[in-house]
Structure formats: C-alpha cells, structure tokens
Amino acid sequence: MRQIRTVLLSGIVLGLAQSALAQGDMAAEAKAHNITVAYSEDGRYFTEDDIPTYNVAEDGTVDWQTYSGFRRYHSECHVCHGPDGEGSSYAPALKNSAVNMDYYDFVDVVVNGREHVSASETSVMPAFGTNRNVMCYLNDIYVYLKARGTDAVPRGRPAKKEGKSDAIREEENACMG
C-alpha cells in the first residue's frame, strides 16, 4: 500500500512539475513574442502584433528609439524609478513592467497615472498625458525599458546607435511643435 502511495505521489509531483515547466515555457514564448522583431519601418522596429520593440545588432549598436528612450527616460522617469529602469525605494523597476505588462496597459498608466492604496502603503504614479517630453517619446521610453528588462542593453548610455531617420525626425518635430 505504501508503494502505491509513493508511486501515486511521485506521479502527481512529476505531473505538477511538468505542468509548471510547460507554463514557464509558455510564459517565455509570450515574452519572446512581445520582443522579437517582425519588421522595421523608417528606423522603428515592431513585433508581429505591431508593438514597438528594440533592435540591438551583434556589435551592440542599438536602434534610434532605444537610444532616444535612454535619454528621455533619464530626463523624465529616473527621478522616481531609478537609473536604467532599475527601480528605487520610491517606485518600481520599470524595466520589468515593459516586459511583463501589456503595451497598452503601460501606455494607459503613463498617460492617465495610477494610484494604489492599501493598509500598508500608498503609491501614486502621476499622469504624464499632457507632458510632451514624455508623450512624444513614449514608444522610445517603452522600447528602451523593454531592452533593459531583457538585458539586451546593459546599464548606462548605449555606446553605439543607429542614425535618426527622417521619418522619426519629422514625427518628433510635428509632436513637439
């Protein structure tokens, strides 16, 4: 009887472990799907779902949006969220949010802000929907944080970058006024 219980428990544990591994594989696939470049257009890179993503060449050259995102993040976001998207005692690591959060949820939080109140803490993310220094570069910031969240880009200013395309320059000028 003891042998039967041991065999049954072993089978259950093995089944749970395989299920957990399969879920881990699915999560990894979902993350890869959220990151993998499917196409590029005018110096911007996108997933197959048309979500902005980064592109880092073998020599470490980053796309313009990743480089611009580094600059914009450090001018607007790092005061609360820490350098390089690492987080701080005041606000969470955004490098993780860009990978784990749906793109549209990320945009919604930045545009409209968010407030979490619990018995032990209150955290507030202000709305940046009217701040052109954020909104005109929101995809850049998102792409940079996604690259940081997957460790595709190390901490610090990217050493090499692609040139800024005319289309990106025109869009930036139109947005900034």
- Per-residue pLDDT for the chain (177 aa), expressed as one digit of tens each? 555 544 444 445 445 445 545 444 444 444 555 789 999 999 999 999 999 999 999 999 999 999 999 999 999 988 888 888 887 887 888 888 888 989 999 999 999 998 888 888 777 888 999 999 999 999 999 999 999 999 999 899 999 999 999 999 999 999 998
Four-CA torsion 163, 167, 168, 170, nearest 10 degrees: 120
What does pTM read for this prediction?
Answer: 0.79
Q: What pLDDT, on a 0 to 100 scale, did the predictor assign at position 95?
A: 84
State the pLDDT at residue 34. 73
Long-range contacts of 109-114 (CB under 8 A, 24+ apart): 110/134, 110/138, 110/141, 111/135
N-to-C CA span, the chain:
79
Alpha helices in the chain (DSSP H): 2-35, 64-76, 78-81, 94-100, 103-112, 132-135, 138-149, 166-176
Residue 1: predicted pLDDT? 53
Share of the chain above pLDDT 70, in %: 81
pLDDT at 18: 54
pLDDT of residue 31: 53
Q: How confident is the model over 74-88, as pLDDT tens digits?
A: 999 888 888 888 878
Contacts 24+ apart (CB under 8 A), 48-56: 51/103, 52/103, 52/139, 52/142, 52/143, 53/143, 53/146, 54/143, 54/144, 54/146, 54/147, 54/152, 54/153, 55/162, 56/147, 56/152, 56/153
